[in-house]
């Protein structure tokens, strides 16, 4: 039987990423639909978004791998055993694993450091949140890409998980990097298993004919795939920038 996915490492660059302003405000402590930022905060957000868009260089390294064994909280693939608590319960039966390392580069964090040095504290803090929102939007973008590749093959894609979040041990970064190294996009791991540049996210998702997809409502809400037969909710906004229009705050 033909393999549905190529298992080679792919490097994605110059991604047309749209930063979700709600993500940025979330990093500023605003709760969506509860807190309404005032005009001064919105003006600062606009300034930081404009600055951030010029400084980010969204890129990702991605790879599909066949799952060779699925155990209670373990996934074996590519000669590596990943230990992710309750993953079998959360994802259900899966056949393919999608791994990715994403980054926006280090220019933005250098500019944030300069702004702190110059005591431009509100802009420094907002720009740092723009960086955090941008890399979250990028992880969402990559998750959507995986879904868009698998859905036409009749393989639903699970939600994403990252080492260090929830109950997944950050030390599992080394196992994730063993199957999907960050070097091609300049992302490294330090001794504590944290990534540099700081605004980077590593992630895993999975696909399978009977994989659990209860999370699709939030995933579909920002996905730009038109006429997707699996879509559960209309696209509310997109993390994919339209080529014809300049980036805008929605």
Binding site for ligand SF4 (CB under 6 A): 144, 147-148, 151, 216, 219-220, 223, 225, 228, 230-231
CB of 231 to ligand SF4, least distance (A): 4
Nearer to ligand SF4, 26 or 231 (CB): 231
Q: Are the C-beta atoms of residues 47 and 123 closer than 8 Å to each other?
A: yes
CB of 16 to ligand SF4, least distance (A): 16
Nearer to ligand SF4, 165 or 217 (CB): 217
Token pair listed for 77 = 């693939």
Q: Which long-range contacts (CB under 8 A, 24 or more apart) does 227-231 make?
A: 228/148, 228/151, 229/151, 230/151, 230/156
Nearer to ligand SF4, 201 or 220 (CB): 220
Nearer to ligand SF4, 177 or 216 (CB): 216
Question: How many CB atoms within 10 Å of residue 235?
Answer: 15
CB of 11 to ligand SF4, least distance (A): 22
Edge-to-edge strand ranges of the sheet holding 10-12: 10-12, 59-66, 96-103, 200-207
* Residue 161: strand pairing partners: 204
CB of 144 to ligand SF4, least distance (A): 5
């Amino acid at each position: 039987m033909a393999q549905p996915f190529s298992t080679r490492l792919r490097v994605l660059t110059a991604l047309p990423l749209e930063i979700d302003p709600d993500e940025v405000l979330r990093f500023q402590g605003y709760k969506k639909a509860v807190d309404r930022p005032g005009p001064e905060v919105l003006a600062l957000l606009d300034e930081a978004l404009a600055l951030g868009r010029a400084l980010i260089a969204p890129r990702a390294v991605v790879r599909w791998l066949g799952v060779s064994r699925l155990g209670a909280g373990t996934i074996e693939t590519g000669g590596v055993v990943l230990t992710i608590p309750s993953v079998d319960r959360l994802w259900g039966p899966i056949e393919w694993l999608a791994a990715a390392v994403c980054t926006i580069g280090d220019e933005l964090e250098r500019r944030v450091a300069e702004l702190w040095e110059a005591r431009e504290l509100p802009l420094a803090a907002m720009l740092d949140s723009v960086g955090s929102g941008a890399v979250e939007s990028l992880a969402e973008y990559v998750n959507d890409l995986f879904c868009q590749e698998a859905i036409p093959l009749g393989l639903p894609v699970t939600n994403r998980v990252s080492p260090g979040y929830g109950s997944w041990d950050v030390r599992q970064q080394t196992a994730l990097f063993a199957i999907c190294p960050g070097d091609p996009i300049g992302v490294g791991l330090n001794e504590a298993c944290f990534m540099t540049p700081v605004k980077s996210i590593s992630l895993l998702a999975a696909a399978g004919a009977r994989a659990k997809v209860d999370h699709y409502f939030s995933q579909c809400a920002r996905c730009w795939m038109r006429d997707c037969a699996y879509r559960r909710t209309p696209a509310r906004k997109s993390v994919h920038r339209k080529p014809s229009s300049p980036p805008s705050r929605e």
